[in-house]
A and B are shown apart, each in its own frame.
Chain A
Amino acid sequence: MFRGIKEWLLSLKNEGVEQVPDETKREFLKIGLIITGVFAGGSLFSVVSKVAEGLASPEELHKGYPYKPHYSMVFKLDRCIDCELCMEACRKTNHVPDYGWRTMILRRHDETALDQKTLFMPILCNHCNNPPCVRACPTKATYKDKKTGIVRMAYYKCLGCKTCMVACPYNARYFNEEKHAVDKCDFCWESRLSKGMTITACAEACPAGVRIFGDLSDPGSEVYQLVHQLAKPVWVLKPETGARPNVFYTIS
């Protein structure tokens, strides 16, 4: 029997991958990655998924966006004054309980800094293009919305295993007892955007114009213009995790 196999193996000719159509190659890789349960981040991911053609690092800024509208938020960091009106608006709009938060403001403080010693840094879900939480969720209770790219929750599917909370590099998730599920920012999709409103509650509430919300795939939008320029620095948090966030930081 083994001899048979050996002969068969030797009789095999190299077909050459050049001849295999791209589509087939992709399908093959996809199957391989799916059955092993192993999805590598970064470059390999981009082979199998158009999702990864979105942006993360400056080099990839001009590659185009996979979603339409590709929702995104840009923070003009130096203008934040921690009035926390955004947090209040978020609580009210999305019924966030007092033990949790969907967005919050961090205070960076350095006594040794020259001049200004404090900088406020708002954070929320980064709606990553390669979200670690979505990969880790066992039941697809959290998923990337195919149309808008918003990382959303199907609350009824959530087991409460909290793997997504551990997986998130941005601390954007918390367990909501009333919903019996992990809750997170959904760019106000359920409370506002799906009802025809165009901007999130926090962006609307901000008195200082820190939070700019919009469609990154639309060259006419403010977020597009803030991100696609070189005069002012634009950065994302924790780029080393390879999550490819859609929340950007810049200065006014």
Chain B
Amino acid sequence: MRKVKVLAGTMILLLGFTGIAFVSEKNKEEVAIPEEPQGVVYYESEDFGGPEIVYAKPVRGVLFSHKYHVGELGLPCESCHNSIFEMQALKSQENPDFNMEALYKGKYCGACHNGESAFASNTKCATCHIGVKGLREYMKKLAEKEKK
């Protein structure tokens, strides 16, 4: 009788192992990467007059920060709107000439980022280009905020 008990105990233990393995396998399934949107508009705070804008065209992950330009530098809205940029966020990336060439000619960001008012458009690339990694971080932030 005792042996039967031991045997049954062993079987239960083994089945338990199998169960744990099954569960751990289930949990291991990779999280599907959400499809990337055509840019991110993320409101850090209402104080800065505008959101953090992450462009996705023509290349992914280019940041314009209202928090920095308005909040920290104290630039007035009129310095850009509506002469250089329209009020609607992400509108500019629909334009066919929204690229570095245009910036070098003084359009869009290039109006200030010309090496005189601010650092030139063809320097310090990774300051504005936060890349796909940066874009994904903002997507995550946005998703977390929407949850709340």
Residues of A within 8 A of B (CB): 78-85, 98-99, 105, 107, 115-116, 118-120, 207-208
Given A99-B30, A207-B59: A82 and B127 interface contact (C-beta under 8 Å): no
CB–CB B124/A120 < 8 A: no
In the complex the two chains form, what is the Cα distance from A68 to B56 in whole Å?
A: 41
Give every chain B residue within 8 A of A115 (Cβ-Cβ). 124, 127
Within 8 Å of chain A (Cβ to Cβ): is B26?
A: no
CB-based contact A79/B131 at 8 Å: no
- Contact yes or no, A82 B124, CB < 8 A: no
CA distance A209 to B83 in the complex (A): 32
- Given A83-B59, A83-B60, A84-B60 in contact, is the A118-B126 Cβ separation under 8 Å? yes
Chain B hits for A81, CB < 8 A: 59, 61-62, 125-126, 129, 131
* Contact in complex: A84, B126 (CB < 8 Å): no
Q: Which residues does chain A contribute within 8 Å of B125, judged by CB atoms?
A: 78-81, 208
Chain A contacts of B129 at CB under 8 A?
81-83
Docked complex: B108-148 residues within 8 A CB-CB of A = 124-127, 129-134
Q: Is the CB of A83 within 8 A of B131?
A: yes
Picked from A98, A116, A207, A208, the residue with its CB within 8 Å of the CB of B124 is: A116
Distance (whole angstroms) from the CB of A144 to the closest CB of chain B: 33
Q: How many residues of B contact A (CB 8 A)?
A: 17
18 inter-chain pairs at a CB distance below 8 angstroms, sorted by A residue, are A78-B126, A81-B61, A81-B62, A81-B126, A81-B131, A82-B61, A83-B59, A83-B131, A84-B131, A84-B132, A98-B33, A99-B30, A107-B133, A115-B124, A116-B124, A116-B127, A119-B126, A120-B126
- Residue of A at shortest CB range from B131? A82
Give Cα A208 to B123, complex, Å. 12
Q: Kindly report which residue of chain B lies nearest to residue A106, judged by CB atoms.
A: B133
- Whether A85 and B30, one on each chain, are in contact in the complex, defined by CB atoms closer than 8 angstroms, is no
The answer for the CA separation of A208 and B129 in the assembled complex, in Å, is: 12
* A contact residues around B61 at 8 Å (CB): 81-83
The docked-state distance in angstroms from the alpha carbon of A9 to that of B131 is: 72
Name the B residues within 8 Å of A105 (CB-CB): 131, 133
| Neighbouring B residues of A99 by C-beta, 8 Å | 30
Kindly state the separation between the CA atoms of A239 and B32 in the bound complex, as whole angstroms: 37
Known pairs A80-B125, A82-B134. 8 more at Cβ < 8 A?
A79-B125, A81-B129, A82-B61, A82-B132, A83-B59, A83-B60, A105-B131, A118-B127
Docked pose: A106 CA to B30 CA in angstroms: 21
Q: Which residue of B lies closest to A85 (CB)?
A: B59
Query: Cβ of A207: which chain B residues have Cβ within 8 Å of it?
Result: 58-59
> Which of chain B's residues have a CB closer than 8 A to the CB of A116?
124, 126-127
Q: Smallest CB–CB gap between B87 and chain A, Å?
A: 27
Taking CB atoms, residues of chain B closer than 8 Å to A85 are: 59
Q: Using Cβ atoms and an 8 Å threshold, which residues of chain A touch B130?
A: 82, 118
List the A side residues contacting B134 at CB < 8 Å. 82
